Structure 1
């Protein structure tokens, strides 16, 4: 097990659950040991990708994490390919290797390319199958859950974006930051000047995001807050785009591009990532993330649930 990402997933799978602050410290320690050029925020980025790929579930506000159960789910329009995700204990890995050696399963490992500043991700595990019954047998043998195609199932469950959890306004004089959409970062402000997305630290030391809308305050996550304010200020903006594949018969499958500064919420990221079983590609020049093998219908549901229209991409 030479990949630090695989080692990290093994560790978290064996632990099962824990405190988010402690796991970030562990990620940083191992990251600095194996990745000399690791940059600030690398543990957080690794955890978000792990959530997107269904390895972990995280309660960000409660500062807790848990390993997701092993799951096999078919990929959309992928000619008999399914992704094997969730936790990977030593016992699970041994059993999978036995099945591979006995030629009971055709397994592919795929590594995600990440900048040197980031901690490597675990290899994605993809299996080939002929009939659904083969996946059911494999799931039973591995102690995994066989789920219908999560990309379609998850997309159908995406809730409409709405601010519903009304809260009190920030304490007067307490440190406050407002999200600047032009710079894609929070900037300190003395007091709320106008509607927008704000970040503050409460008395219990938890950092929270709140949206000010027409004199009322709503508690939200950063990602949902970004799209709520975007819809308020600009209606639909050209931040989500979809480009179809050129292959014959694949016109309804393509790539979803998400501009930097407009991150998808956890469930939306997981739906997009589980279309391929891979983490999104990072396009430094174009300043966006690219999710592959996304059906147009899934991309449309992602955009609409965030109050956005799906644009065309020239990528």
Structure 2
């Protein structure tokens, strides 16, 4: 266990022990090494959440909004746009962050290249206003620049959660269709993100999260992981009043395997909805938020006997 997290590790171990005294042992972490590895993954997941939420209190470099600057960072850009009263642009940054992801070598390259229209003047950038105003023109632009994505120097690619994504302009499974369907989803409520979010507002932040999660099925290339990541990020950045009510294991792969391993000590045993309910109880009684728990069990099941640090 890393020295700087010994106290938090002890707190998590005590929380698991308290849960097990009431509900019985968690078969997947009876082995002490597997238990410690899961605790380390939970700590990593919590640190990623903490980094995001603390962005709102930091002095951020204005260049973080500039896709041509080395300082560009889509989440920092979202915070800066929100501070400037530009909710649409802030949420657009979150959408781009989720759709393209961060490549382990190329970083934010796909977001930079697309948002900046390959280094065009600022008036030509694919901001929310420009993209939402004419998504068909974006698709024509994307089609015309397919070769530019491939020949520009250096590595390129989508992030890990969307590593099989497509830049195709006209395919129903490509970025062109994804952008246009997202624009349509937002505009269907009246004209901007604020109206879209208000139209799905429910009694609690958890109910709103679930309503938005279901509604986002209309957006192409926005499956379970993308919807969950998009909504949790909106909540963490205070762009929408949402909180996940539970893990979303129906349709999941890695998180479902991790839940099966944790609850049943068998990566193939257990129905998704039943395990989702089991993790909901575990999250509530250990005070581990559903997004942290889902992320942690997903990473834990990749290497249960030896801690490996994953980037998200």
> TM-score, structure 1 length as denominator?
0.25
- For CA contacts below 8 A with separation 6 or more, give which structure has more relative contact order: 2
Higher strand share: 1
Higher helix share: 2
> TM-score, structure 2 length as denominator?
0.25
